[in-house]
Structures are given as C-alpha cells and as structure tokens.
Amino acid sequence: PLGSARCAVCEGPGELCDLFFCTSCGHHYHGACLDTALTARKRAGWQCPECKVCQACRKPGNDSKMLVCETCDKGYHTFCLKPPMEELPAHSWKCKACRV
C-alpha cells in the first residue's frame, strides 16, 4: 500500500513515517533494526551504515575511525575533525552542529 515500505534488515513492513530512509541507496530501515531511535534530526539527509560517508571529506571507509553523532547519526572521520581526534571517545559523541 501507499505510504509503506519494507525494512532492508528484517524485510518486515512499516509505515514510511516510522522508517529511516537512506538518501544514498534508497532503502528503508526500522530504527529498532539499527538499534537507534528515529528522530526528526536523524531523518534529515540520513545514510544507512552501508552508505555512510564522512560529512567533512564526503568519503566512506575507515569505519574504525568513523564517529557517528548520537543526535543526528551523521558520520565524521576522527582525522577529518578540526582539531583531529587521536582516538574514538569512550562514551557517546555529538558533532559540532549538535553540540550548539
């Protein structure tokens, strides 16, 4: 039906308003299947884990150095931050835009 889609993880149906939509690959995801809460801030320009790129250099990869903002779910390489971070923080992290 119109207004619904299938989750790329569990293949279960869901209402579009309740699903994440990856702006890169076009797949839909339940928040619960990604273990993240769906919020308006996260939905804007959201990318799934497979498509996520660093917001600074616009490149994927270096997943072990990719920080993901707990508020907007956007990714940033530790070495692309100004100043660069030497290590991943032990606790949750927020990008500059979300810390304001």
Per-residue confidence (pLDDT) for residue 51, from 0 to 100: 96
* Positions of the chain with pLDDT lower than 70, given as ranges: 1
pLDDT tens across 62-81, in order?
A: 999 999 999 999 999 999 99
- In this prediction, residue 79 carries a pLDDT of 97
In sequence order, what are the residues at sequence separation of 6 or more whose Cβ sits closer than 8 angstroms to the Cβ of residue 75? 47, 52, 53, 54, 55, 66, 67, 68, 69
pLDDT for position 1 = 62
Tokens representing 10 are 């569990």
Q: What is the pLDDT of residue 82?
A: 94
User: Given this model, what pLDDT does residue 3 score?
Assistant: 85
Omega of the bond leading into 83 within 30 degrees of 0 (cis):
yes
Phi/psi zone of residue 26: left (φ > 0), alpha (ψ -120 to 50 degrees), beta? left
Give the predicted TM-score (pTM) of the model.
0.83
